[in-house]
Amino acid sequence: MQNQEIIKIIENLKGRRGYEEKKASKLGFTSLYAYFEDKILKEKKALEDRKKELEEINSERDIKIKKEEKKSCSCC
């Protein structure tokens, strides 16, 4: 099954198609489709990783804020 998004990307390359084909073959991909498929998967994974990282930072910040709220006096 072919992804329509990838097919549209390949159709819209126009003058850059030769460049992208050379780059794909240099990286060891058998086709331009496989190259763009891998590229899109990497972008999605990077986006998910960034999202997880932001969630971790937010949860750590929330924990720190809750600890500060529990203090009843300025000496502690």
DSSP of 30-51, one letter per residue? SSHHHHHHHHHHHHHHHHHHHH
* This model's pTM is above 0.85: no
Q: φ, ψ for residue 74 (rounded to 5)?
A: -80, -10
For the beta carbon of residue 17, count every other beta carbon within 10 angstroms: 13
Is residue 53 scored above 70 in pLDDT? yes
Interval 6-18 mean pLDDT: 93
- The four Cα atoms 24, 25, 30, 35 give a dihedral, to 10 degrees, of -10
Map out the domains of the chain as residue ranges: 4-65
CA distance 9 to 35: 11
More confident: 75 or 14: 14
